[in-house]
A and B are shown apart, each in its own frame.
Chain A
Amino acid sequence: MTAKRILVVDNEPYIQEVAQICLEMVAGWQVSTASSGSECLIKAAAEQPDAILLDVMMPEMDGLTTYKELQANQATKHIPVIFLTAKVQPADRRRYAQLGMKDAIAKPFDPLQLASQVATTLGWN
């Protein structure tokens, strides 16, 4: 089984790095990062990752807008997206689900559990 490739999108460099460490060390996945919604759109199309972890609150283009753009593009439409968010209210979850989002993972996440949360959400077991 080849290692999964994940794109982590967050404007905060240390959160990018933390997520990268957690996914690479614990699950052995390959992680690339993007600092903004627009960078995410470019990298997602070019790298075709197996999943995208997307921060919701970002300056300029927020997570929801980024998601809609990803969905609008044939090249990125199929890539599953998980929201990484400090706000997970039931109402948010419903809204994400309506949008076709896989799920949301709450921040702060447990560094040792992040990989398994992602795997569970995407049914990679």
Chain B
Amino acid sequence: MRILVVEDDEFIANALDLVLSEQNYAVEIAADGESGWELVQAYEYDLILLDVMLPKLDGIELCRRVRSQGYKMPILLLTGRDSSHDKAIGLDAGADDYLVKPFDQEELFARVRALLRRGNTSVSPVLEWGELRLDPSSCEVTYSGRSLQLTPKEYALLELFLRNNRRVFSCSAILDRVWSFDKTPGEEAVRTQIKGLRQKLKAVGAPADLIETVYGIGYRLKLPSVNKLTLPSSEEPSEQTRQQTLTALAGVWERFQGRVNEQVTLLEQATTQILPAQLTVEQRHHAEQAAHTLAGSLGTFGFAAGSQLARKIERSLRAKKSMSQTETKHLRELVAALRRSIELTPPELTTPVTVKQELPQLLIFNSDRHLAEPLIAEAGVWGIQAEIATQLETARKAIALSPPQVVLLDLDGNTADSLALLVELKHRYPSLPVLVHSNQDNLMTRLEVARCGGHAFLPKPVPPAKVLQAVTQLLPKEATAAKVMVVDDDPQILATLRSLLEPWGLRTICIEDPRRFWETLEASAPDLLILDINMPHLSGLELCQIVRQDSHWCGLPILFLTAYSDANTVNQVFAVGADDFVSKPIVGPELVNRIMNRLDRIELLRNLAEIDSLTGVANRHKSTQDLERLLNLAKRHHQPFCLAVLDIDRFKLVNDTCGHAVGDTVLRQLGQWLLHSLRREDIVARWGGEEFVCGLYGMTSQDGVQRLTDISIGWQQQQSTHPQCNIPITFSVGIVHYPQHGADLESLYRAADKALYRAKKNGRGRVVAFKETGSSDQLSVASD
């Protein structure tokens, strides 16, 4: 990964170079904005670290320039100023994140990693898998440099696999994604295409099973053989490699456990049966050697504590030929602790590391461990991994090591420590939500918490479920993994389902008690529901009826899991509105297949209903909802909200002269250009014909004019280099903002439309903000 650091302070630049290089990033330094810009144009960078105050061209300007030229690498601003205004200017200029100087190294690394992760998914111009390479911009596919000639279907199939390289696709899922609706053939067609693709891959030297058949489920890409990969050290081993390695290590542990036991026994003999003072030189040497080996190896197997104990034992054996009674006793205790530590199952090697890491993390800070334990248990139910810290120092370490998604702070134990932690978190991890839990429910405490930067306050007493509900609401929303909620009174079934579904990237929310159904449903908003039929208090059939009655949830797919498969039960299940029915015992692939198909179908329908198929931006229906939502948010938080209406100039002429196909391409390009140029949270939609609408939260029309002017300039520059047809294509923009120009979407739209007509009338290709100038706004429409 290549990082460009634009920083004029030599000391900071060198420090960044040093610490980032240690993390195996390739770092280049530019000392002013202009030379930064030259480097951006000359080389490819995965990330830019940008100082704001720079000679020649300041960071904000550079940021705008980078974005206006269509560069999409993530930008992290380093700023000495921490006012919200400064941050907003930076983010609006196109930065993805900012860090206030002086910053913490840990945090810098974490943010850099986060941005690079994000960058990979959105940018990744070329898709690669081992030796296989697909370049979507030129539609070229190669294997170890040898080119493949693919049919459009084969190409689409390969692209689908490469873009979702961890997923298995069933035949029907492939049909849905690769074939168009009106022409869906049978599953046989998929098999024929896969066969053709495999033959072509084989012909250029790829393994025949590069596209692997997963029995009973479908197809996926096979992991490239590890021997062919020379791993760049900056990359983490892939998940599969991790798993394979850890499994192999668990095997070594099993085979050599006897040997490790012997070594511990040797230590036991040396320290318990014989007094250390009476050991012969040889015995002492053997004991030292054993302790040394254990110190060096146990940690690798996942027994970090064991390694530390062994090291202490080694040290005290070496240091002291004669020991006092207390020292001898201490040594024996160490050996006993070592024995206990290796009798536990190695944590790292047996639990599926993948699943643990993908779960959202919650850190509970409470000086009383007992009080926090019910919360830990409850968190498991909600698909959250919770950890307790009872000391300020442990909490700090835990957060630095792996920042959680949410922190739950108990105020009632050591209030001073809790507040200190709160202040520290606010300063060092401003975006990390902190939920404060306290029985001091009074105004002063609430005020204190608010001043220290708490995100939410929860007065006690509250049942653990409510606490977790509050935590769930604070979780970052972008978690895209589909969520499956399972209700079954048998914990064994819940555990099985979780272990079955989570490796597929499905977040699984499990509840045992159906009486807690509704609150969990609302809080977790699952994409699919799995119900057992027979449960105490409430049956699955009843739950299903309740869901189907509710106007919001009635569309939720429901799958029944039951031990009965008689006709009567099956009838009943479908009569109450189930979508699918699976009988126990659970057959893993079948269940996964059914769930994945169901989820694919929902996603597809959702896209169909919400995305404009020509341009890939939101359609009018969907964007209206989103715009209303942002408008409400703006009302509630007294923020401005900018609405822009865009129209391609002389679009009819484009269609007439160059043909409708070119016209469609222009529409698609503009849709994508807007999507890429605006912020992630902005709304881009096509409202029909050549008209686009954009919603920019937190911006006034002045900001909007600036923004859209940049975008328009960028578009024109891009157009001149890639001529689609000989007519220069420009667009006009009308801009308004809430609350000044209207209180609801409709009046805002009308005002923006007026501004748009003025832009057209004044010569097109320009961005015009709405001005109340009496009758002149009523002027007739420029004829386009």
Say if A and B assemble together: yes
Residues 76-117 of A, flagged 1 when their CB comes within 8 A of B and 0 if not, give 000000000110000000000000000000011111100111
Q: Which of A16-24, A37-45, A64-72 contacts B (4 or more CB under 8 A)?
A: A16-24
A21 near B230 with CB under 8 A, answer no
| CB proximity of A121 to chain B, nearest CB, Å | 9
A75 at the interface (CB under 8 A from B): no
| CB proximity of B310 to chain A, nearest CB, Å | 9
Given known pairs A109-B300, A111-B300, the reply for A25 and B245 (CB within 8 Å) is yes
B256 near A125 with CB under 8 A, answer no
B536 at the interface (CB under 8 A from A): no
Q: Provide 28 A-B residue pairs closer than 8 Å at the C-beta atoms, listed in order of the A residue.
A: A1-B230, A13-B256, A14-B256, A15-B293, A15-B296, A15-B297, A18-B252, A18-B297, A21-B245, A21-B249, A25-B226, A25-B244, A25-B245, A27-B230, A28-B228, A57-B289, A107-B299, A107-B300, A108-B300, A109-B300, A111-B246, A112-B241, A112-B242, A115-B231, A116-B233, A116-B234, A119-B233, A120-B233
| CB proximity of B706 to chain A, nearest CB, Å | 42
Interface residues of B, Cβ cutoff 8 Å to A: 24, 225-237, 241-242, 244-246, 248-249, 252, 255-256, 259-260, 289, 292-293, 295-301, 304, 307, 311
| Residues of the B chain whose Cβ atoms lie less than 8 Å from the Cβ of A124 | 233
B297 near A112 with CB under 8 A, answer no
| Residues of the B chain whose Cβ atoms lie less than 8 Å from the Cβ of A109 | 299-300
| Residues of the B chain whose Cβ atoms lie less than 8 Å from the Cβ of A26 | 226, 231, 237, 241, 245
A12 at the interface (CB under 8 A from B): yes
Report how far A120 CA is from B22 CA in the complex, Å: 9
| Residues of the B chain whose Cβ atoms lie less than 8 Å from the Cβ of A1 | 230
| Residues of the A chain whose Cβ atoms lie less than 8 Å from the Cβ of B236 | 112
- Given A27-B229, A108-B297, 6 new contacts (CB under 8 A): A1-B230, A26-B241, A28-B229, A108-B298, A110-B300, A125-B234
Report how far A107 CA is from B245 CA in the complex, Å: 18
Q: Tally the A-B contacts, defined by beta carbons under 8 Å.
A: 106
Given known pairs A21-B252, A27-B231, A28-B226, the reply for A112 and B300 (CB within 8 Å) is no
Given known pairs A13-B256, A21-B248, A108-B300, the reply for A3 and B230 (CB within 8 Å) is yes
Instruction: Give me the 3 closest cross-chain CB pairs, A-B, nearest first.
Output: A108-B299, A107-B296, A116-B233
Interface residues of A, Cβ cutoff 8 Å to B: 1, 3-4, 12-15, 17-18, 21-22, 24-28, 57, 59, 85-86, 107-112, 115-117, 119-120, 124-125
| Residues of the B chain whose Cβ atoms lie less than 8 Å from the Cβ of A27 | 229-231
| CB proximity of B766 to chain A, nearest CB, Å | 50
| Residues of the B chain whose Cβ atoms lie less than 8 Å from the Cβ of A57 | 289, 292
A116 near B231 with CB under 8 A, answer yes
B300 near A59 with CB under 8 A, answer no
Of the listed residues B235, B237, B295, the one surrounded by the most CB atoms of chain A closer than 10 A to its CB is B237
B228 near A108 with CB under 8 A, answer no
| CB proximity of B734 to chain A, nearest CB, Å | 52
Set A18, A108, A117: member contacting B307, Cβ < 8 A? A108
Which single residue of chain B is at the shortest CB-CB distance from A112?
B237
Which single residue of chain A is at the shortest CB-CB distance from B291?
A86
| Residues of the A chain whose Cβ atoms lie less than 8 Å from the Cβ of B244 | 25
Set B230, B245, B301: member contacting A112, Cβ < 8 A? B245
| Residues of the B chain whose Cβ atoms lie less than 8 Å from the Cβ of A110 | 300
| Residues of the B chain whose Cβ atoms lie less than 8 Å from the Cβ of A115 | 231, 233, 237
| CB proximity of B286 to chain A, nearest CB, Å | 10
| CB proximity of B454 to chain A, nearest CB, Å | 36
| Residues of the B chain whose Cβ atoms lie less than 8 Å from the Cβ of A18 | 249, 252, 297, 300-301
| Residues of the B chain whose Cβ atoms lie less than 8 Å from the Cβ of A120 | 24, 233
| CB proximity of B769 to chain A, nearest CB, Å | 52
Of the listed residues A1, A17, A112, the one surrounded by the most CB atoms of chain B closer than 10 A to its CB is A112
Set A13, A21, A28, A85: member contacting B231, Cβ < 8 A? A28
| Residues of the A chain whose Cβ atoms lie less than 8 Å from the Cβ of B249 | 18, 21-22, 111
Which single residue of chain A is at the shortest CB-CB distance from B257?
A14
Report how far A13 CA is from B297 CA in the complex, Å: 11
Report how far A125 CA is from B230 CA in the complex, Å: 9
B245 near A3 with CB under 8 A, answer no
| Residues of the A chain whose Cβ atoms lie less than 8 Å from the Cβ of B237 | 26, 112, 115
Which single residue of chain B is at the shortest CB-CB distance from A11?
B293
A108 near B295 with CB under 8 A, answer yes
| Residues of the A chain whose Cβ atoms lie less than 8 Å from the Cβ of B293 | 12, 15
Given known pairs A25-B244, A26-B237, A86-B311, the reply for A14 and B297 (CB within 8 Å) is yes
| Residues of the B chain whose Cβ atoms lie less than 8 Å from the Cβ of A22 | 245, 249
| Residues of the B chain whose Cβ atoms lie less than 8 Å from the Cβ of A108 | 295-301, 304, 307
| Residues of the A chain whose Cβ atoms lie less than 8 Å from the Cβ of B248 | 21, 25
Report how far A119 CA is from B234 CA in the complex, Å: 10
| CB proximity of B232 to chain A, nearest CB, Å | 6
| Residues of the A chain whose Cβ atoms lie less than 8 Å from the Cβ of B233 | 115-117, 119-120, 124-125
